Structure 1
Amino acid sequence: MTIPGPVPPPSNSLEAMSQSYIDCYYSRTLATSETYPSAGGRIAADVCIVGGGLAGLTAALHLTRAGRSVVLLEAQRIAWGASGRNGGFVSAGYATGLSNIERRVGPDQARELYRLSMEGVEIVRGHIADLKIAEAQPVSGIVKAVRYDTRGAMRSSRDKQEREFGMRLRYLPREEVTAMFASPKYREGVLDEGAFHFHPLNYGRALAREAVRLGAAIFENSAVVSVDLEGARKRVKTRDAEIDAEQVLFTTGGYTGAVLPALKKAFLPIATYVLLTEHAPDLVRSAIRTTAAVLDDRRAGDYYRLVDGGSRILWGGRITTRTTDPRDIAALLRREMVTTYPQLSALKVEVAWSGLMSYARHLMPQIGQLRPGVWFCTAFGGHGMNTTAIGGTVVAEGMSGESDRYKLFAPFGLTWSGGVFGKAAAQLTYWSYQAADAAREYRSH
């Protein structure tokens, strides 16, 4: 296989390249300017990966290190979807809670799965350190904050996680929470000192560079139009290329097309929204007095963190089954921000954006083998930074025969999402969460 390298950048390339991503904080702060060619001609490889998000890139890097020849096809740009425009939170756990996982698989397997999520955090941290990805800008600490008195439940949960998993968690009573976050809303919290937040787009692009350096072939703007997965050798076609591979791995998410119907039907594309405020360091510091990121513990809550040296706020929240952008993204999120921090009423929004995540009905990643030589690794909505890392790792281990750890996810397979009925149910559930959050917060005052 002839390995194409990155395409040499033209002059003023960072500005030009950022325009091929949606306008957001991450595309405005790209560290490097490489691009990759579109696929063309007939290409043979051991593995063809469909999808250039963090799961696909992690798998590509692992398989290339294991000596496999890898072709990765991305319909847009590397980490163009949810992988490169999310909140940037890297912490243990899944979109559903440990108690829900236990009810499905029992306590022993649930603990194994939770430890995998912890390993996912360390995989990301290790890549940043080993590959010297300074542009990923990791910052330690994520606080889970609540708007009501948990009557000891939060402290007990902290104790259990420390006891069972050895996590570094610090309970924050109200006075400590308000010292960090000058908001009348928060009552208590837990600081996860082992978690961190970072620049996911720069991180994903660094994984791509390393995979290519080791021999992988990455192609951008190369949407898959058809597949033939029946024979011993699989064929994947784009507009201008045909890839012949022993194994195919699908790592597409909320933007999945119809070439593999079993995958597309198995999860819902769910939109979330994010804004970036103007540069206003003094005003920002009047509200948020820590570099730790914040995860509002409401089931329909917000997540936010300081960026640009603490001079801006990146604020995310709200989810919806509506996959087109409303006109008032910025206004919707800004209302949440100012309700939480009234002193920020004069703070302006510079840009707002959305992205589609993939959620399965069981709220767990979907990782496994559809048939011999055909693999899937998707549905990372809600906790994608750690779960894409461990998902890409265990599926690559399965493909190369290193381990069968991917089978831990077998109980969470490609369950039908419910189609339009599933979308309606998901939206109603989210609204019910919002109502329950509001009622609980009201009762605590």
Structure 2
Amino acid sequence: MAASYIDSYYTRTLASHESYPAAEGRIHVDVCIVGGGLAGLTAALQLARAGRSVALFEARRIAWGASGRNGGFVSAGFATGLSQIERRVGPHQARELYRLSMEGVEIVRRNIADLAIAEAQPVPGIVKAVRYEARGALQALRDRQEREFGLRLRYVPRDEMAALFASPKYREGLLDEDAFHFHPLNYGRALAREIVRLGGRIFENSPVAGGDLLGACKRIETDRAIVEAEQILFATGGYTEAVLPALRRAFLPIATYVLLTEARPDLVRDAIRTSAAILDDRRAGDYYRVVENGDRILWGGRITTRTGDPRNIAALLRREMVTTYPQLAELKVDVAWSGLMSYARHLMPQIGQWQPGVWYCTAFGGHGMNTTAIGGTVVAEGMSGASDRYRLFAPFGLSWSGGIFGKAAAQLTYWGYQAADAMREFRTS
């Protein structure tokens, strides 16, 4: 049975409904890409532009997983902070990695412009908001980011925060004017159309069942096709199966949740008075934005190591929304959904070459809109010999995620973050 998309705001607002066939017969290409999320699509587009023959295989639909049902936030950075990266690789390489994350933002922006993807609906501005007195920390962060990277961050004091976000919770914020939010599913599907226009081949409903990765000519198999290629890229995420066991063991599938409210512009605009999105600075915080011209709110948050019923989690998310904005007490939830992200223990993307001709690009850890773009780009450059920038990610390889013990540790860490956030907020209330 052909896979369908999960019901979400994005599937309800699809701009086009094209589909791609399942793979059949024998297929010979320069590069085979396993995974039709934004990383695989970006790599396929880069390789097709470079004149390589490319075939992309997706087990379900293009951008079916986290790539097509996330919050839609596009901003610089990774799932872990710059200071953590510096401790691992030193300040120079950390700055190079951060610049790559900034480049990822520009890759998405440039694709939207060059391919005229109006249906991606980019909206500028993301506010990082705090619920405590930062005592100059936000201004210091702004100054460092501007000095070292040229980022445009504007400090938002408490009175302006209250004017933009009519909540008693927020004390200060930083507005990232270079960041934006958008419709990731429409964006991903537009990349797929361009890949096909350039001669690339895309196959949906074609899960990879096995193959031989050891020879000079790599081979993978689906239930109805045999594919031979000089190089293979595994660009799967939280739904990765065991075709490449080293990849599957190297990250944790973590569930996150998103809800879409009913259309009540009167209530929504009384609470959120800006088109900028908001990212709660709490380590276990929420992220949200208005959609459909301010008529609805798309609100995401919560993580679990086991996928729960989105309806149950939606009740918790809604409670958080109403706690933040008491005036939204009457606002109902229209639809809620979940998705699996892939997290490595070090919270950095895993990008590189596993063995000659076999590449991987995964584990974007809830910060994938920019990192899938740069990850797909640098791995495509590596596959075509255009650059070796992918080696900057070498310190963050395919180390074991800890299995069930890693899952337990991740859940306990998240609960600890929630408790620490609550205590810090209580102390400054």
TM-score by length of 2: 0.99
Q: How does 1:121-270 map to 2 (within 5 A)?
A: 121-270=105-254
2: CA distance, partners of 1:155 / 1:197:
23
Conserved 8 A contact 1:269-1:323: no
CA drift of 1:20 comes to: 1.4
Counterpart among 9, 20, 24 of residue 40 in structure 1:
24
CA drift of 1:141 comes to: 0.1
1:352 is aligned to 336
CA drift of 1:24 comes to: 0.3
2: CA distance, partners of 1:99 / 1:227:
41
SS in 2 for 1:304: strand
Counterpart among 306, 328, 335 of residue 322 in structure 1:
306
Q: In the TM superposition, what whole-angstrom CA distance separates every residue of 1:366-396 from its partner, at most 9, and x where no partner exists?
A: 0000000000000012210000000000000
1: CA distance, partners of 2:263 / 2:154:
31
Conserved 8 A contact 1:141-1:192: yes
Conserved 8 A contact 1:357-1:380: yes
SS in 1 for 2:195: helix
Conserved 8 A contact 1:338-1:344: yes
Please say if 1:438 is aligned against 2:426: no
Q: What is the one-letter code of the residue matched to 1:293?
A: A
- RMSD (CA atoms): 0.9
Structure 1 moving runs of 4+ over 2 Å: 323-327
CA drift of 1:330 comes to: 1.7
Please say if 1:84 is aligned against 2:68: yes
Counterpart among 22, 34, 38 of residue 50 in structure 1:
34
2: CA distance, partners of 1:326 / 1:46:
41
2:390 is aligned to 406
2:356 is aligned to 372
Q: What is the one-letter code of the residue matched to 1:58?
A: T
Please say if 1:300 is aligned against 2:284: yes
2: CA distance, partners of 1:356 / 1:227:
25
CA drift of 1:326 comes to: 5.2
CA drift of 1:323 comes to: 2.5
Q: How does 1:64-103 map to 2 (within 5 A)?
A: 64-103=48-87
2: CA distance, partners of 1:138 / 1:326:
27
2: CA distance, partners of 1:73 / 1:227:
14
2: CA distance, partners of 1:227 / 1:167:
45
CA drift of 1:196 comes to: 0.1
2:296 is aligned to 312
CA drift of 1:324 comes to: 4.1
CA drift of 1:329 comes to: 2.2
2: CA distance, partners of 1:71 / 1:243:
9
2: CA distance, partners of 1:246 / 1:332:
48
Conserved 8 A contact 1:300-1:433: yes
Q: In the TM superposition, what whole-angstrom CA distance separates every residue of 1:93-150 from its partner, at most 9, and x where no partner exists?
A: 0000000000000000000000000000000000000000000000000000000001
Conserved 8 A contact 1:329-1:353: no
1:6 is aligned to none
Conserved 8 A contact 2:310-2:337: no
Q: How many residue pairs are counted as aligned between the two chains?
A: 428
CA drift of 1:219 comes to: 0.1
Please say if 1:290 is aligned against 2:263: no
Consecutive unaligned residues in structure 1, runs of 5 or more: 1-16
Conserved 8 A contact 1:136-1:202: yes
SS in 2 for 1:328: helix
2: CA distance, partners of 1:329 / 1:95:
22
Identical aligned residues as a percent: 80
Q: In the TM superposition, what whole-angstrom CA distance separates every residue of 1:314-350 from its partner, at most 9, and x where no partner exists?
A: 0000111013435412201101100000000000000
Conserved 8 A contact 1:52-1:77: yes
Q: What is the one-letter code of the residue matched to 2:338?
A: S
Please say if 1:341 is aligned against 2:318: no
Q: What is the one-letter code of the residue matched to 2:406?
A: G
1: CA distance, partners of 2:361 / 2:67:
14
Consecutive unaligned residues in structure 2, runs of 5 or more: none
2: CA distance, partners of 1:325 / 1:390:
33
